[in-house]
């Protein structure tokens, strides 16, 4: 059983000075006359966990699939582990871990059998100084599937199947792991164990790029979030950086002689000092709530969808780095 670990610190991990693991400039993707990606720029450094967020249809899976080499882009430059995915060979592919949104095959295989089979694909790539694939039984324990090791895959529950997808994604000890909505269908306990697994992988200096609609999950796991709206990254940074960029770290509520008040602020102490200076002991029922990623996300998406993208982009894309 995995231990739960804490949310990443406000400052994120130690900055990595090596070349970025993922570097994307002006990525564009068009399906017919539908322009889905309209100039995406993003950088992911070694050891970072980055969450790519955005409304349905924003282009998150498209972006990830271009990075994985599964989809040919319309324009822009893309570099993953020093290689353009459009030209990535087998050795390059062996350094990626991929968990797709849905992967419903291999039903007749048994769990351990499939993992051993996939692990064998990685053996030829250990010669070049890389560690070999993970031990299958250790991996089964890591993802909580020891009890299902000899079960046919078609008999697994949805959450168990998703754990197996993740095991398949990490069996080759990837240098970068792409997770597309990894916890859909997880119960709360499985979700918590999965979060601990992702943190453990990041502690081994793995680089992880994930998409999710679960904002609590992103807040808990990600060192940095990117928000994709209208085919562009309209905000990026740590949750605290983004909260500050929208002008409120916290929301404070209070009453004065029975009347309720509410204010968003980047400086709770100054706000409270001002209140007490003005109203003295009449200030009551003070509550301070930290701004959540959900607050930030909803504000950013509303801004962007109302056509204030350029303004939002100026304020928020500079928040990180």
> Could you list the residues that contact ligand ATP (CB under 6 A)?
31, 36, 54, 56-62
Place of tokens 């209208």: 230
Residue 222 or 248: which CB sits closer to ligand ATP?
A: 222
Q: What is the closest distance, in whole angstroms, from the C-beta atom of residue 62 to ligand ATP in the complex?
A: 3
Min dist. Cβ of residue 135 to ligand ATP (A): 33
- Residue 231 CB, nearest distance to ligand ATP (Å)? 9
Taking the least distance from each CB to ligand ATP, the nearer of 61 and 206 is: 61
Instruction: Give the residue with the Cβ less far from ligand ATP, 56 or 128.
Output: 56
Closest CA to 238 of 5, 6, 1, 8: 8
Nearest approach in angstroms of CB 156 to ligand ATP is 23
Considering the complex, what minimum distance in angstroms separates the CB of residue 211 from ligand ATP?
A: 6
Nearer to ligand ATP, 61 or 148 (CB): 61
Rounded Cα distance, 134 and 170, in Å: 8
Q: Which is nearer to ligand ATP, 177 or 226 (CB)?
A: 226
- Nearer to ligand ATP by Cβ, of 57 and 147: the residue is 57
Least spacing, CB of residue 59 vs ligand ATP, in Å: 4
Nearest to 176 by CA among 196, 205, 133: 205
């Amino acid at each position: 059983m995995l231990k739960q670990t804490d949310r990443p610190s406000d400052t994120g991990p130690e900055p990595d000075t090596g070349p970025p693991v993922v570097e994307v400039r002006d990525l564009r993707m068009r399906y017919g006359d539908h322009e889905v990606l309209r100039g995406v720029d993003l950088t992911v450094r070694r050891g970072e966990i980055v969450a790519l967020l955005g409304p349905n249809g924003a282009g998150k899976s498209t972006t990830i699939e271009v990075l994985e080499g599964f989809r040919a882009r319309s324009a822009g430059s893309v570099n993953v582990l020093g290689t353009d995915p459009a030209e990535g060979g087998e050795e390059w592919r062996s350094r990626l871990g991929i968990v797709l949104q849905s992967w419903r095959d291999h039903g007749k295989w048994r769990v351990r059998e499939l993992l051993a089979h996939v692990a064998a694909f990685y053996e030829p790539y250990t010669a070049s100084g890389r560690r070999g694939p993970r031990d299958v039984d250790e991996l089964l324990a890591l993802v909580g599937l020891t009890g299902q090791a000899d079960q046919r895959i078609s008999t697994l529950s949805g959450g168990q199947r998703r754990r197996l997808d993740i095991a398949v994604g990490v069996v080759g000890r990837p240098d970068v792991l792409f997770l597309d909505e990894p916890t859909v269908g997880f119960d709360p306990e499985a979700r918590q164990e999965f979060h601990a697994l992702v943190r453990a992988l990041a502690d081994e200096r793995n680089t992880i790029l994930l998409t999710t609609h679960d904002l609590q999950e992103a807040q808990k796991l990600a060192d940095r979030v990117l928000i994709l709206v209208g085919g562009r990254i309209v905000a990026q940074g740590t949750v605290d950086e983004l909260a500050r960029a929208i002008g409120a770290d916290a929301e404070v509520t209070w009453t004065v002689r029975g009347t309720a008040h509410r204010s968003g602020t980047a400086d709770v102490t100054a706000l409270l000092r001002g209140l007490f200076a003005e109203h003295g002991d009449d200030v009551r029922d003070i509550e301070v709530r930290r701004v959540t990623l959900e607050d930030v996300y909803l504000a950013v998406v509303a801004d962007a969808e109302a056509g204030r993208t350029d303004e939002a982009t100026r304020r928020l894309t500079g928040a990180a780095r």
